[in-house]
Structure 1
């Protein structure tokens, strides 16, 4: 909003306010008023209102899709109504949209045809503006693009009033269907397969030689079903060895826009309790002893982990920091004792674990396509296969409803399917 004032020169009052020149710089504009101060102040308000209206129209005339996304992100995306993970996901999506020529198009000229072509390219693939040919994206990934575009275009209609209608309302999300080779002799069971006990032992042996620090979070995921961010975010205060349970209250992830690791809530923003057995009790006790030994061996070079509270536009999040004993600790840093540590005391981070898993997938026979989340699948399949109640498994996993547990995991093994169809043999035999 333009700022102004009035002043008297001789018998007359004058009003002045700041406006932007052609270069975007603020310059002062002064106009003659009347001999009455109140009348001159009225003229000032009218002049400023007229200026703002003209400026608004000019801005709306030249606003691009990319600029709209920036305004929406600044004013709406960081209001505290979304989780930190969702905000980061949307910000990453905005960065990707802005790489496309659609982002340079003036908002007033964007049609549903432009938007439909953009989403079809995402869905079915093809030659992108950078000249590279890419395959279509997954349905979940496309939904992120759709959510960002739908919300930002609604925002452009109201409250911003940049445009009078939302062309996104006419968009249909179309998805590529997998083609089936009718004459292939390959077994096309695309479900994620659980890891056998034998393969799990091979994995630990491999990691013992290549990446020992990755073993503990791998074991926690195998025996407790934690997500990668939850395993890395687990602190010793969350581990109750007497009651043999974990309290899962936080997750850690990398924020690309801030270039920092952020500690936030779990995926469902709910604290849950996960019980575990004697095997994991022994694993935790051994890990604690090893960490105390490392602390003595490293001395001043041993690291301590901290978090720092950050408040930003009604959002609160926590940044992760790691300092050795020689470094001065800022007063706003608070210490946290994580479970999954490297020998020098630094946290074993999710990105590091992801890299380890990708290397396993490339180099360890029988682990092609391996990823950390497969351990969570294995945990669930093992529970269900041994008679655990689906509702109990749902609560252990932190799923929003039991159908997610059953749909994603209960039919993930060939053995489960075989047992189901063999029920028919029993019926036929009884006849």
Structure 2
């Protein structure tokens, strides 16, 4: 809304108007513009209305040269203060690799829906997590709308193209499973028991028997294990950033959880603790690292990529069905479902904040569970 004022010059009475033109994306502060030199109030009103329309359409001189990267810089400077270092690093990586090279230098008010769809299609051909890229880029456009830099979000109605893996038939889909069946788990653990150190075997055993994330296990301290009650407390995760190890609290309150351990797992942990103490790894110094359950030989935290490398090496050597470290978490969930656990029980054990995440795993349960379902139906209908 403009305000109008009459003022005196050597040439006589003139009119001016002042108008709020939105928020400056570089400073985050509201801007006010003043336009002078109008002979009548009506002329000033006409000019003010024209400027207001330009601001609404995003064609104002104040907004016309603002790039996508300008808006990203302003948005990220405040948003980064509200998130954890691991999340900040992940977001920066996505923008640096996929978003800024395609959008960064473009004037944000000139980016069209067609261009956004084209870019999303291109990214979908490179990576499977294209939806996450869209979510991140969309935050910038939403911020630009909020700050009156643009009127409409060109990314809002862009669709995610179907991934090839979503179009394959059921027979081919079986080969894409990212989990192991029960016999495959037994084979793998038998190999790790013989081939790997007790520390590494214990880590893989825990990944399969608890469904915990690798970062959660590598952040564990001995006081997180209650050997009396048989519970393990998962409240933090290990993160590596710029050469430093950081212990972060869990991402959500659901991720902070207390889960039970079976006697076999407890026995294996006790055995590892004895070996660790004998190797003098549990008593190095007085810092927090000295209490970490799984460490390097010098007592420092382990690399997050270490388990990925070990898993890949074992799979390659013994020609096992290929899965990822995260696939061991899916394996735990699938075996829980086979054992008769409810969706809610699996959700709580895995620390999913959204039950849909658990449901997604449930839809990819093993063939054995599908066969059991068929057999249950047959037995019931033939009674």
**Corresponding residue number in structure 2 for 1:241:** 227
For residues 305 and 227 of structure 1, do their structure 2 counterparts lie closer, same or farther at Cα, with a shift above 3 Å needed? farther
Distance in 1 (CA, whole Å) between partners of 2:286 and 2:350 is 27
Distance in 2 (CA, whole Å) between partners of 1:274 and 1:212 is 23
- 1:370 Cα offset (Å): 2.2
Q: List per-residue Cα deviations over 1:79-106 (Å, max 9, x = no partner).
A: 32x4544333322211123562432222
SS at match of 1:274: strand
**Corresponding residue number in structure 2 for 1:420:** 373
Q: List per-residue Cα deviations over 1:183-214 (Å, max 9, x = no partner).
A: x9867454333343564344453475356543
Check whether the contact 1:69–1:94 (CA below 8 A) recurs between aligned residues.
Answer: no
Superposition map of 1:13-28 within 5 A? none
**Corresponding residue number in structure 2 for 1:291:** 276
Unaligned runs of 5+ in 2: 1-59
Check whether the contact 2:141–2:153 (CA below 8 A) recurs between aligned residues.
Answer: yes
- 1:415 Cα offset (Å): 1.0
Over the aligned positions, Cα root-mean-square deviation in angstroms equals 3.2
Return the match for 2:137 from 149, 165, 170: 149
Distance in 2 (CA, whole Å) between partners of 1:142 and 1:106 is 23
Superposition map of 1:14-413 within 5 A? 60-75=63-78, 77-80=79-82, 82-97=83-98, 100-123=101-124, 125=125, 135=126, 137-138=127-128, 141-159=129-147, 161-178=148-165, 188=174, 190-197=176-183, 199-206=185-192, 208-209=194-195, 213-255=199-241, 258-270=242-254, 271-295=256-280, 337-367=291-321, 369-402=322-355, 404-409=357-362, 412-413=365-366
**Corresponding residue number in structure 2 for 1:33:** none
The TM-score normalised by the length of structure 1 is 0.65
**Corresponding residue number in structure 2 for 1:16:** none
SS at match of 1:147: helix
Check whether the contact 2:333–2:361 (CA below 8 A) recurs between aligned residues.
Answer: no
For residues 242 and 394 of structure 1, do their structure 2 counterparts lie closer, same or farther at Cα, with a shift above 3 Å needed? same
Q: Number of residue pairs matched?
A: 323
For residues 429 and 219 of structure 1, do their structure 2 counterparts lie closer, same or farther at Cα, with a shift above 3 Å needed? same
Check whether the contact 2:179–2:323 (CA below 8 A) recurs between aligned residues.
Answer: no
Unaligned runs of 5+ in 1: 1-56, 126-134, 307-333
- 1:422 Cα offset (Å): 1.6
Q: List per-residue Cα deviations over 1:318-368 (Å, max 9, x = no partner).
A: xxxxxxxxxxxxxxxx5562111233322223221122223333333123x
Distance in 2 (CA, whole Å) between partners of 1:71 and 1:195 is 48
Distance in 1 (CA, whole Å) between partners of 2:123 and 2:356 is 29
Check whether the contact 1:195–1:378 (CA below 8 A) recurs between aligned residues.
Answer: yes
- 1:162 Cα offset (Å): 3.2
Check whether the contact 1:64–1:107 (CA below 8 A) recurs between aligned residues.
Answer: yes
Check whether the contact 1:384–1:410 (CA below 8 A) recurs between aligned residues.
Answer: no
- 1:262 Cα offset (Å): 2.9
The TM-score normalised by the length of structure 2 is 0.73
Q: List per-residue Cα deviations over 1:58-90 (Å, max 9, x = no partner).
A: 784433222322222112x2232x454433332
For residues 411 and 176 of structure 1, do their structure 2 counterparts lie closer, same or farther at Cα, with a shift above 3 Å needed? closer
Distance in 2 (CA, whole Å) between partners of 1:342 and 1:208 is 20
